[in-house]
Structure 1
Amino acid sequence: MRIAGVLVAAMTVTLGTCPAYASGLTEVTAAAETAPNWDDDAGGNANADDPAIWVDAQHPERSVVLGTLKNGGLTVFDLTGKQVQRFATPPAPEPGQEPGRFNNVDIVDNLAIVTDRGRDQLRTYAVKAGRLTDVTSATAPLVFSKDTAEVQDQRTAYGLAATKIKGRTVVAVTRRSETRVGFLALVPDGHGKITYRSIGTVDLPSSFKLSDGSTWSPCEEPGDRPQLEGMVFDRTTNDLYAAQEDVGVWRIPQHGKPELLEKVREFGQRAVYNDETEECEPTGPVSPDAGKHLSADAEGLTIAYRNGVRTLYASSQGDSTFAVYGMDGRRLAYRAGFEVIDGPAADGVQHSDGAAVTTQPLGSRFPHGLFAVHDGENTPGDSDREGTNFKLVRLEKLP
């Protein structure tokens, strides 16, 4: 939903009621980047989306970053941005059905988990010495769909976050075009591979009461509901933080009701879907209930832990910036914003989806930690092709 988010933000500005979003932001540059990915047949329909960082405890400088490439599969690259491994998506289970399409990835201990939105499944990979081995069970079930016919509607496994709770690996998965978050537990399949089972679901709202007493629902493509994608577990509390793209950032506790902690700037603004442009177009002014720091889509979320302090980074895809929040108890306190601009080693970042962070020193290249992020408009590009990749930023550069 990248383009829709951009247009909504731009049209909101023309109403004359929003501040200049980029004002006062810290400008940072990337230290390295991956090779470009091209979303066409010649490029293997590779479209970068979401990164995850695997830290080599014995040799931190040999740590690797994983990145989903949608139909292009899963890439693994070193801290220079060089690809060291790549996995293709699985083929369609039957002729005429959807093949694999890798959307989000996360890592717990030495296990990487990926949402295959094409086939509505999870895939799992064991990580050892920076090399991945596919350990997905042949009997892994569908995550949301009742059968493969329903999978073809593509209301399938989308966003993903994973954590360890009381020794059990728990995975949160969002459903594309819906407001549902499913919770799964990874389990062995008895044949040396890994499968999963459902342990619950949470359904977030699709409409909201505004301060003037009216009810508002975000504009979506007809038939869709306001979906979620970017997520991260807080490993100190086991709370899940989830970005509902056109709404804002939620905290979903293990017990108790979800709380909407941060709203997007478009929250509460009336808009209609234009069938010709296939975009949402604002029809009213910015709402007094709107947020101040995120422009839809609210996307990648990741948490840095250092000296007892937790910091949440959130991608503000609509204006190609990032918001930084101190995690004050179970609240979010906005601290700063930044953008990744063109630099000597890499171009800047636009319309970012996923992000990942570690505060672990990773050798001389990233001595204070790493912020890995998707770039939705890699340059230099090609006017006839959609180019994307991943950027690696030294953590000490961030505010």
Structure 2
Amino acid sequence: MTRSRKMCFISMTAALGAAALSACAPGEIPLDTRIANALPARIVQASGETEAVATANADAADDPAIWRNAAAPAQSLIVGTDKKAGLYVYGLDGKVRDFTDAGRVNNVDLAEHDGRIIVAASDRNDPLNAHIALFALDRTTAKLSPLGRVASGAGEAYGICLYRDAGTLYAFMVIKDGTIRQVALDLTGAAPAGRIVRTMKLGTQSEGCAVDPANARLYVAEEDVGLWRFDARPGGAVAPVKVAAADGKAIVADAEGVAVADGYVVVSSQGDNAYAVYRLSDEAYVGRFRIAAGALGATEETDGIEVVAGDFGPAFPDGLMIAQDGSNAPRAQNFKLVRWGDIKRALGL
């Protein structure tokens, strides 16, 4: 669903009174007129975009993951899901480097583990039984090689994020009903194996998740409720702690994609096409932004997001954010690339 909203601009028309002009500070987009409590959002613009996914006329593109090539930052890679068809690999120029027909894979994450780049996707080809689809990403050819699937319990697979602890790679599988299972992955054999080490629960539909490895914290978005935090350690407490409510202010439901980087956690406020940012150290709200139309289009109805700090070469010298664009007409959905430094400057971080 596309939401219309007024843009702030200076007009010489007498019909625009001072009260109307004061609604937005310079560099801000106003609130959707139907979301009166939402906080203002600063403007940034995309500096790149991927080619559209092949599934047209459908809600198809969903979630991105980023592999930063430390040796050659401009040769970094993006993995993105077409949740109707499979996984794409893109270069930073947005060109498709590879496509793997994996069927209905919803969210994706990746991690370097034992000398390989491991890509994990939430596999919902069987809506009654969740699986983790695992791949190895070749850093030179940008090709994905299937490793196999790991069962992760009953329910429809929805969100996924990875976490390394004491040499073990874990996947957090977020089931559509809000169940979260931590799965220890064993990739040493001919086929991958997994073991559910603990289960956590949120009350309603949940999806986006990301891990803060420095503090061993898992962040999960419960779509109509808000952002929660869990202990990410396999032996940690399973009770959630609420970080932020989807109360129509910083987060307008749905709370969707979640990303952790550079001392911040970012949440897609899908209900008003914005993104809320919280500081990790004290989980305080620090601001909101929107990706507005410029040389490239705006983002709307964003599902998955990812942020990685660091040098990505001349085009993205101070970090990279990628956001799914739910309305990319006349083409199918795609992913927009934004300089993380632009976002930090817009928010005064």
Shorter-chain TM-score tier: 0.7 to 0.9
User: What's the offset of the Cα at 1:38?
Assistant: 5.4
Residues 6 and 317 in structure 1, CA contact (< 8 A), matched pair in contact too: no
Within 1, Cα distance between the matches of 2:48 and 2:290?
A: 16
Of residues 66-75 and 252-261 in structure 1, the stretch that sits farther from structure 2 once superposed is 252-261
**Matches for 1:1-399 after TM superposition, within 5 Å:** 3=1, 19=36, 21=38, 23=40, 25-37=41-53, 39-40=55-56, 47-89=60-102, 100-109=103-112, 110-119=117-126, 120-130=130-140, 131-137=142-148, 140-145=149-154, 155-176=155-176, 178-188=177-187, 190-191=189-190, 193-204=191-202, 206=203, 226-253=204-231, 254=233, 255-256=236-237, 257-265=239-247, 292-305=249-262, 310-328=263-281, 331-344=282-295, 346-381=296-331, 387-398=332-343, 399=347
* SS of structure 2 residue aligned to 1:318: helix
User: What's the offset of the Cα at 1:157?
Assistant: 1.3
Deviations 1:80-139 (A, max 9, x none): 1111101012xxxxxxxxxx30100001111111111123311111123252332423xx
Tell me the residue number matched to 2:13: none
Unpaired stretches in structure 2, ≥5 consecutive residues:
5-31
TM-aligned CA distance change 1:343 to 1:326, over 3 Å: same
TM-aligned CA distance change 1:359 to 1:141, over 3 Å: closer
Residues 37 and 46 in structure 1, CA contact (< 8 A), matched pair in contact too: no
TM (norm. structure 1) is: 0.72
Matched AA of 1:195: A
Within 1, Cα distance between the matches of 2:297 and 2:221?
A: 26
Within 2, Cα distance between the matches of 1:111 and 1:197?
A: 17
TM-aligned CA distance change 1:342 to 1:33, over 3 Å: same
Deviations 1:229-280 (A, max 9, x none): 11001111211000000110000113232111110026xxxxxxxxxxxxxx
Residues 39 and 250 in structure 2, CA contact (< 8 A), matched pair in contact too: no
Unpaired stretches in structure 1, ≥5 consecutive residues:
90-99, 146-154, 207-225, 267-291, 382-386
Within 1, Cα distance between the matches of 2:330 and 2:322?
A: 20
Residues 135 and 194 in structure 1, CA contact (< 8 A), matched pair in contact too: no
Within 2, Cα distance between the matches of 1:258 and 1:22?
A: 26
Residues 299 and 317 in structure 1, CA contact (< 8 A), matched pair in contact too: yes
* SS of structure 2 residue aligned to 1:352: coil
* SS of structure 2 residue aligned to 1:185: strand
Tell me the residue number matched to 2:16: none
TM-aligned CA distance change 1:38 to 1:135, over 3 Å: closer
Within 2, Cα distance between the matches of 1:39 and 1:123?
A: 20
User: What's the offset of the Cα at 1:189?
Assistant: 5.9
* SS of structure 2 residue aligned to 1:142: strand
Matched AA of 2:256: E
Tell me the residue number matched to 1:271: none
Residues 97 and 143 in structure 2, CA contact (< 8 A), matched pair in contact too: no
Within 2, Cα distance between the matches of 1:36 and 1:107?
A: 21
Within 1, Cα distance between the matches of 2:251 and 2:59?
A: 27
* SS of structure 1 residue aligned to 2:132: strand
* SS of structure 2 residue aligned to 1:143: strand
* SS of structure 2 residue aligned to 1:360: coil
Residues 105 and 115 in structure 1, CA contact (< 8 A), matched pair in contact too: yes
* SS of structure 1 residue aligned to 2:271: helix
Within 2, Cα distance between the matches of 1:141 and 1:194?
A: 7
User: What's the offset of the Cα at 1:6?
Assistant: 6.9
TM-aligned CA distance change 1:186 to 1:236, over 3 Å: same
TM (norm. structure 2) is: 0.82
Within 1, Cα distance between the matches of 2:96 and 2:62?
A: 16
Tell me the residue number matched to 2:9: none
Tell me the residue number matched to 1:278: none
* SS of structure 2 residue aligned to 1:332: coil
Matched AA of 1:393: V
* SS of structure 1 residue aligned to 2:61: coil
Residues 143 and 156 in structure 1, CA contact (< 8 A), matched pair in contact too: no
Aligned pairs, how many? 305
- Give the alignment's Cα RMSD to 1 decimal: 2.2
User: What's the offset of the Cα at 1:13?
Assistant: 6.4
Within 1, Cα distance between the matches of 2:164 and 2:188?
A: 19
